[in-house]
A and B are shown apart, each in its own frame.
Chain A
């Protein structure tokens, strides 16, 4: 691209870069660096999870039965669909199809709100049943078939920490996608002439999706450690 197309690039090319290629390459490498830090961020929590899960398989299995795998499943499908929409939005951005991009970004936003809505229903349910860890933690013992309630509390501690952190990422995603959509609405050259900003936001959204892909089975679908027929459940 170099300096030939100066007129257009002028307003979007930052002064520290030679040309648009260098600028875009830097953004992409920067985004991957950021995602690496995110992986390490969540990675620590996943490690903590696996450690306790290894120690308290039975208790945690019983705790997890309080989570609604159907609601979680709907949310999984919902996020996967939004990720698909996001991927096609990037494609439309490459084709410079403004309406196409906006429609898809709108779809992603709707999915994101649905996700948070369902999470709200889940969280408030847990709260009402006194399953939120801390001083108010007072679950009905009968629900846990004799599991050690301390370990149950530990389970919910991590459940809220991990899904909460993920939820914060969804919230940030809504802000970022909203800002991106606004730029498309206003027809800012920085997004309409160059698909890279849309792609970067897309990468972030796929990351948020992938984290959930791990959270869902770990919390909602944990297999019975003593096998399906050994009377672990009900």
Chain B
């Protein structure tokens, strides 16, 4: 690395302190940190809207707010959470930070593009926030036409513009991941030595490249139709609004895998590291990511069982959807098998990871309920669906994000946090989460429709909604607490050392936090991925007794 003259004492955080050095940085680690801050901010906004929705549902009368306000609240919640948090959190924060480190590269292939992607994301966030401040949109995050394109009087275009820009941010991130994985691996880092985290992000990158452009142009067409009356879906002229749904779900089903595949990668790393055992079925986990990325594009019609789609289409979509459950199940089985007879260390990240598994299992298993064509006619657009996707997306992506953030926090910041608090908080989140969303399965099954802000016609739903709102308060605390102890660790935390968890992987070989060029020496990979020696019992005890680490 002749052309690098950084001081060995400097790392990516201390190398330049000015605002400018952050806002114009091309260092993937700094960009990850910028993303971490912005994503946390939008998560907070989305969370506030969620609180509004939940409090309105405490009583059956629905008299806390107007229907219109309620519609705007759940739209804000869905739009912000999906487009500004779930699609971005793990790939743009953890993926950006770790992917180059894990394959022994100095940066992503296109650092400037990476910076651009953050700016696009911020522009997206600004548009969506401005739209909210200017009165909000009331279409729901799915923007179904012709309501969104012709009839709604709310700020739909600006919101859509935000989503459109966010799409470009996603595309550039995906491009960076795919090219980096192909071309930037250190010598000896063969495809089958790639950490499963990298496999997960590679598959995510592929989905971003293939899916995002479709939704981008689809939404652009809605903007055209709204602002210039350029007809594309307009049923008055013979256009087909269901066409919009096809295009939308062609992206948005695969998009749920953009939200979950990176989390799968995180969990694979954590399971093997804290079981101190080579991950069970490495190849199966890697290939199941690719299988998910591929099959994910063939099942969009399961969101349209109750649209005008023909019965034959529905039957086929139903069938392929069932197929898609197989690769997800493979992963869950393999993580379980990894823990089996391992020396499991119940650290903070591991508890978050195990929580992930429990929640994702419930979410994943309710998928086939919905994928059964006949069954979905009953369940579609009820709270059962709401519970399903929150179990997979909140239980999956957010738990995965928290797990990963805790696991790599010492690497990212060089500091340790209080692991005991982290463990208790992980359990609090798990309890709060179940209390919030499990009752929704029940009311959904009983027939509570989605997107209604009253249910005076069925007061028997009340206890479930009250439970759910109580749970959401606990969940809110569970999400807030990490902010405190993690930030506290930045100032008061012990120094982490290079490898506090005694884990495998290139990222643990460099200093914490890593230097700007990632490694101070030329990386050559000689050992296999996850080459954990079976650990002697006493070593494990020592690690556990070290407690904090």
Q: Residues of A with Cβ closer than 8 Å to B?
A: 10, 14-17, 22, 25-26, 29-30, 33-34, 36-38, 40-45, 47-48, 51-52, 55-56, 133-135, 148, 150-151, 153-154, 157-158, 160-161, 165
Measured between alpha carbons, how far is A48 from B250 in the docked complex, in Å? 13
User: Which of chain B's residues has its CB closest to A13's CB?
Assistant: B3
B538 at the interface (CB under 8 A from A): no
- A43-B179 in contact given A161-B224, A161-B232 (Cβ < 8 Å): no
Docked complex: B216-231 residues within 8 A CB-CB of A: 216-218, 221, 224, 228-231
Q: Which of B174, B179, B180, B209 has the most CB of A within 10 A?
A: B179
Select one of B174, B182, B221, B239 contacting A52, CB under 8 A: B239
Are A154 and B3 neighbours in the complex by a CB distance under 8 Å?
Answer: no
Task: Name 11 A/B residue pairs within 8 A (Cβ), A-sorted.
Answer: A22-B184, A29-B179, A37-B210, A44-B214, A47-B247, A51-B240, A56-B238, A134-B228, A153-B231, A161-B221, A161-B232
- A154-B237 in contact given A29-B183, A34-B175, A51-B243 (Cβ < 8 Å): yes
Measured between alpha carbons, how far is A44 from B218 in the docked complex, in Å? 8
Further 19 A-B residue pairs, CB within 8 A, beyond A16-B109, A44-B214: A15-B106, A16-B106, A16-B111, A16-B184, A22-B183, A25-B183, A26-B110, A29-B182, A37-B175, A37-B210, A40-B210, A43-B214, A48-B247, A55-B240, A133-B230, A134-B229, A154-B232, A157-B237, A161-B230
B517 at the interface (CB under 8 A from A): yes
- A44-B178 in contact given A51-B243, A134-B228, A148-B238 (Cβ < 8 Å): no
- A40-B221 in contact given A16-B106, A48-B232 (Cβ < 8 Å): no
Measured between alpha carbons, how far is A42 from B234 in the docked complex, in Å? 20
Chain B residues near A36 (CB, 8 Å)?
209-210
User: Which of chain B's residues has its CB closest to A40's CB?
Assistant: B213
Are B107 and A15 neighbours in the complex by a CB distance under 8 Å?
Answer: yes
Q: A-B pairs with the 7 shortest C-beta distances?
A: A134-B229, A16-B107, A150-B237, A41-B213, A40-B213, A157-B231, A26-B183
User: Which of chain B's residues has its CB closest to A158's CB?
Assistant: B232
Number of residues from B at the complex interface, CB < 8 A: 44
Chain A residues near B230 (CB, 8 Å)?
133-134, 157, 160-161
Chain B positions 238 through 251: 1 when the CB is less than 8 Å from some CB of chain A, otherwise 0:
11100100010010
- Report the minimum CB–CB distance from B192 to chain A (whole Å): 20
Chain B residues near A17 (CB, 8 Å)?
184
Are B3 and A151 neighbours in the complex by a CB distance under 8 Å?
Answer: no
Measured between alpha carbons, how far is A38 from B171 in the docked complex, in Å? 11
Are A15 and B175 neighbours in the complex by a CB distance under 8 Å?
Answer: no
User: Which of chain B's residues has its CB closest to A51's CB?
Assistant: B243
User: Which of chain B's residues has its CB closest to A150's CB?
Assistant: B237
Measured between alpha carbons, how far is A45 from B231 in the docked complex, in Å? 13
Interface of chain A: mostly helix, strand, loop or mixed = helix
User: Which of chain B's residues has its CB closest to A36's CB?
Assistant: B209
Chain A residues near B221 (CB, 8 Å)?
48, 161
Chain B positions 421 through 456: 1 when the CB is less than 8 Å from some CB of chain A, otherwise 0:
000000000000000000000000000000000000
Measured between alpha carbons, how far is A156 from B218 in the docked complex, in Å? 17
Are A154 and B209 neighbours in the complex by a CB distance under 8 Å?
Answer: no
B105 at the interface (CB under 8 A from A): yes
- A33-B213 in contact given A56-B238, A148-B238, A160-B230 (Cβ < 8 Å): no
Are A26 and B209 neighbours in the complex by a CB distance under 8 Å?
Answer: no
- Report the minimum CB–CB distance from B443 to chain A (whole Å): 37
B236 at the interface (CB under 8 A from A): yes
- Report the minimum CB–CB distance from B489 to chain A (whole Å): 30
Are B214 and A154 neighbours in the complex by a CB distance under 8 Å?
Answer: no
Measured between alpha carbons, how far is A48 from B231 in the docked complex, in Å? 12
Measured between alpha carbons, how far is A44 from B224 in the docked complex, in Å? 15
Measured between alpha carbons, how far is A123 from B236 in the docked complex, in Å? 25
Select one of A30, A42, A154 contacting B175, CB under 8 A: A30
Select one of B109, B213, B232, B240 contacting A30, CB under 8 A: B109
Chain B residues near A56 (CB, 8 Å)?
238
Measured between alpha carbons, how far is A176 from B278 in the docked complex, in Å? 49
- A15-B218 in contact given A30-B110, A48-B243 (Cβ < 8 Å): no
Measured between alpha carbons, how far is A148 from B218 in the docked complex, in Å? 25
Select one of B105, B171, B238 contacting A37, CB under 8 A: B171
Select one of A43, A135, A154, A161 contacting B239, CB under 8 A: A154
Measured between alpha carbons, how far is A56 from B239 in the docked complex, in Å? 10
User: Which of chain A's residues has its CB closest to B28's CB?
Assistant: A16
- A157-B232 in contact given A25-B183, A44-B213 (Cβ < 8 Å): yes
User: Which of chain A's residues has its CB closest to B177's CB?
Assistant: A33
Select one of A55, A133, A150, A161 contacting B229, CB under 8 A: A133
Measured between alpha carbons, how far is A165 from B114 in the docked complex, in Å? 25
Chain B residues near A22 (CB, 8 Å)?
183-184
